[in-house]
Amino acid sequence: MLNSSILSVNNLSKTFKSGNKELTVLKDINFSIEKGISCAIVGPSGSGKTTLLGLCAGLDKPTSGDVILNDQKISALKESDLSAIRNEQIGFVFQSFQLIPTLTALENVMVPIELRGVSYREVEKKAIDLLDKVGLRDRVTHYPTQLSGGEQQRVGLARAFIHKPEVLFADEPTGNLDGDTGSQIEDLLFELNKDEGTTLIIVTHDRELASKCNRIIELKSGSIISDTTSPVEQTETIQADLAQ
Select 41 or 136, whichever has its Cβ closest to ligand ADP. 41
Q: Which of 9, 33, 38, 48 binds ligand ADP (CB under 6 A)?
A: 48
Q: Is 43 in the site for ligand ADP (CB under 6 A)?
A: yes
Q: How far is the CB of 54 from ligand ADP (least distance, A)?
A: 8
208-238 in b/e form (b: 16+ CB < 10 A) is ebbeebbbbbbbeebebeeeeebeebeeebe
Distances 110 to 20, 105, 122 between C-alpha atoms, Å: 43, 9, 10
Site string for ligand ADP, 50-89 (x = CB under 6 A): xx--------------------------------------
Q: How far is the CB of 23 from ligand ADP (least distance, A)?
A: 5
Q: Is 49 in the site for ligand ADP (CB under 6 A)?
A: yes
Q: How far is the CB of 15 from ligand ADP (least distance, A)?
A: 9
Site string for ligand ADP, 18-37 (x = CB under 6 A): x----x-x------------
Distances 234 to 2, 77, 174, 237, 238 between C-alpha atoms, Å: 11, 34, 27, 5, 6
Would you say 131 and 158 are in contact if contact means Cβ atoms under 8 Å apart?
A: yes
Q: Which of 2, 20, 45, 119 binds ligand ADP (CB under 6 A)?
A: 45
Distance CA 140, CA 120 (A): 16
Q: How far is the CB of 158 from ligand ADP (least distance, A)?
A: 25
Distance CA 88, CA 70 (A): 12
Would you say 210 and 216 are in contact if contact means Cβ atoms under 8 Å apart?
A: yes
Listed ranges 41-49, 77-85, 114-122, 177-185: which one lies at the site for ligand ADP (CB under 6 A): 41-49
Angle at 121 between CA 119 and CA 125, to 5 degrees: 120
Which residues, numbered 108-127, are part of the site for ligand ADP (CB under 6 A)?
none
**Footprint on this chain of ligand ADP (rule: CB under 6 A):** 16, 18, 23, 25, 43, 45-51
